[in-house]
Amino acid sequence: MTTLDSRPVATPAPDNYLTFTKGILSWVLTLDHKRIGVMYLVAVLSSFFVGGVMALLVRTKLLFPGEVSWMTAEQYNKAFTLHGAIMVFLVIIPSIPAALGNFVLPIMLGAKDVAFPRLNLFSFYLWIIGAVCAVYSLLAGGFDTGWTFYTPYSTTTEAGGVIPVLVGVFILGFSSIFTGVNFIVTIHKLRPPGMTWFRMPLFLWAVYATAIIQVLATPVLGITVALLVIERAFNIGIFDPSMGGDPVLFQHFFWFYSHPAVYIMILPGMGIISEIIAVHSHRHIFGFRFIAFSSIAIAIFSFLVWGHHMFSSGQSPLMNVLFSAITFSVAIPSAVKVFNWLATLYKGSISLNTTMFYGLAFMFLFTIGGLTGIPLAVLSTDIHLHDTYYVVAHFHYVMMGSALIAMIGGLHHWWPKMTGRMFSEFWGKIGCALVFVGFNVTFFTQFMLGSQGMPRRYYAYQPEFQIYHHISTGGAYIMGLGFVITAIYLIHSLFAGKKAPANPWGGASLEWQCTSPPPHDNFSSTPRVGDCYDFSAVHWDEKQQGYVVDTEAHVAAAGKGH
């Protein structure tokens, strides 16, 4: 027996996953991880649109310091709550793992599918049911609790939609758990020969770390919202102080999940950026092991820092001190990642395309987001900044400026792979620039608002803050325009885009070795694994208008070690 197969793995197949079977039923009942990923993507982006409209409504109201006739305080409260809940539970948490992860994880790993395809489809439909619950909660009167559902406000508010949306969050939690279970098992058990842990792309390390958090933290959220539903319905006295309960206990339980959830959102984004920076610099990622282990470190530390959301809540000063100290430990692996990405640019050959623009935008925004976390982790300054716009700006820099920008960067990175079409680079750069500028105008202003003491979740505010709100709202419109342009050129590319080559960017990981779009079974034969960050065997091919990987040389180079 010599070699398994000397053919290039990516033989152009007439049938890809999009055309493999036809009809609406072939989509809604599909077990193909790629189709499920695409369905997630459509669902998540639709929710992103709704959440974005809510954000613009909120920002538009804030142009005016006082009351406005077209939006009452109750409506405003419901609008920002809906914005937060949609963006967190329906958009950011599932965006990268469930949408992009589902699509690329098995291909990058060299597997034919995730370990449990039926569970995968089931968790997609759990997402749909959760989203339906959220929509139903609007019909039932909406909810105005803030996405954090703090008791006793959430157990006593008259808004009728609190229980339905909590049921929705519970179900969405299980959707997230099942995705996590699927990914952990897929990464453990479905790696082809040669795909060792340290040849696995960093995106998979990040998704693996994320899946651990999903599996271990989400059940606590499930129990917490279940208890909240019971408390609201039956007034049992767990959280409600009028029945002997403890409202601060709710915050502990809530943040025990929701702080790790922050890393469910950002870790996969970091994974995508590791891919983007390496591939588009055509250069081996710097410090693979440090980046990989920093993901795991972040996952572990994320469970120990929840109390830093509660420095002013009345928890004991000792706990405040401990939580503050541990919080800084999360800063280190995050900083390590940024420095490694910088070092990856060094002596690279950097393609300045739309995808790389998003990667660089991420580094810029994440640096600000991370650094502004420091005054929030410091006890004495957090007391001043807590629950002001400073916090709002900080977590938007991390959640949106980092996690969502990474998601959109990843979408561009893998768009040719998913759709088989190239998007317009020109409009791509315009869209990215508008989003980047709009984002900074919107949220950097809010750092100033916050440190000057403007509390968050305010319907009306003092006139002195108005100028900042005007700038911020202006930025939001610019950002909105950027997203509209992005949506237009991406959709346009589906119909009129150039056919994508198998490897448009010069990547060396496995997903670039199958056709664009990939065939139904991903790989016609067991793929051969080299070092996915070794670009020495990647060459430009004029005929295909894309890069090709010389598999023999690639695998041989990896065998020699580096």
Partner 1 sequence: MSHSTSHADSHGHGDHHAHGDHAKYPFLAHHFDTPNQQFESGKLGMWVFLATEVLFFGALFVMYAIMRFKDPQVFSYASQFLDTILGGINTCVLILSSLTMAIGVRAAQTNKKGLLCTCLALTLAGAMGFLVIKYFEYTHKFHENLKWGQAFYHPVNDEEKLELNTEPKPVENPVLTIAAVNPSAGVQPVALAAQPPVDKTAVAAPKAGPDGVSTAAMVEAADAGMHVHHSEEAHLLDPKLPPNTHRFFAIYYIMTGLHGIHVLIGVGVISWLLVMAMRGRFSSDYYTPVDLVGLYWHVVDLVWIFLFPLFYLIH
Partner 2 sequence: MLNLIPNLLMQSSSDATLATGQATTPKTFWMPEGASTISREVDWVFNFINYINYFFFVLVVGIMLYFVWKYRQKGREVYARGPSHNTMLELGWTIAPTIIVVVIFFMGFRGFVDMKTPPSNSYQIDVTASKWNWSFKYPNGATSNDLYVPAGKPVKLVMRSEDVLHSFYIRDFRVKQDVVPGRYSSLWFQADEPTGSDKFHWLFCTEFCGKGHSDMNRHVYVLPEKDFDDWVVEQGRWLDKIPAEELYFKAGPQLYARCASCHTLDGKPSTGPSWGNYDGSGNIWQRTDSKTSTHKVDGKSITDLVGDGKAVPNAQSYIRNSILNPGEHLVDGFGNVMPTFRGQLTDKGIDALIGFMQHLDEFDAKGQWTKKPAGTAAAAPAAK
Binding site for partner 1 (CB under 8 A): 1-5, 106, 111-117, 119, 177, 180-182, 184-185, 188-190, 192-194, 215-220, 222-224, 227, 230, 234-238, 241-246, 249, 253, 256, 521, 525-526, 528-529, 555, 559
Tokens of 149: 């559902």
Which residues, in sequence order, are CB contacts of 25 under 8 Å at separation 6+? none
* Of residues 117 and 348, the one with the C-beta less far from partner 2: 348
CB of 454 to partner 2, least distance (A): 8
Instruction: Assess contact for 274 and 336: CB atoms under 8 A.
Output: no
CB of 210 to partner 1, least distance (A): 14
Instruction: Assess contact for 523 and 110: CB atoms under 8 A.
Output: yes
- By a kind-dependent CB cut-off of 5 to 8 A, residue 509 interacts, out of partner 2, partner 1, none, with none
* Of residues 151 and 522, the one with the C-beta less far from partner 2: 151
Which contiguous run of DSSP H or E holds residue 539?
strand 538-541
* Of residues 42 and 73, the one with the C-beta less far from partner 2: 73
* Of residues 196 and 544, the one with the C-beta less far from partner 1: 196
* Of residues 388 and 516, the one with the C-beta less far from partner 2: 388
- By a kind-dependent CB cut-off of 5 to 8 A, residue 150 interacts, out of partner 2, partner 1, none, with partner 2
Tokens of 307: 């109390």
- By a kind-dependent CB cut-off of 5 to 8 A, residue 35 interacts, out of partner 2, partner 1, none, with none
- By a kind-dependent CB cut-off of 5 to 8 A, residue 237 interacts, out of partner 1, partner 2, none, with partner 1
CB of 300 to partner 1, least distance (A): 15
CB of 112 to partner 1, least distance (A): 4
Instruction: Assess contact for 500 and 420: CB atoms under 8 A.
Output: yes
Integer angstrom CA distances of residue 548 from 108, 138, 278, 512, 544: 16, 51, 17, 9, 9
In angstroms, the CA 406 to CA 355 distance is 9
* Of residues 236 and 374, the one with the C-beta less far from partner 2: 374
- By a kind-dependent CB cut-off of 5 to 8 A, residue 464 interacts, out of partner 1, partner 2, none, with partner 2
In angstroms, the CA 379 to CA 555 distance is 52
**Which residue matches tokens 């180079």?**
557
Tokens of 499: 């056919």
In angstroms, the CA 97 to CA 278 distance is 20
* Of residues 119 and 437, the one with the C-beta less far from partner 1: 119
- By a kind-dependent CB cut-off of 5 to 8 A, residue 538 interacts, out of partner 1, partner 2, none, with partner 2
In angstroms, the CA 334 to CA 291 distance is 9
In eight-state DSSP terms, residue 347 is T
CB of 459 to partner 1, least distance (A): 29
CB of 17 to partner 1, least distance (A): 13
CB of 533 to partner 2, least distance (A): 7
Start-to-end CA distance of the chain, whole Å, equals: 27
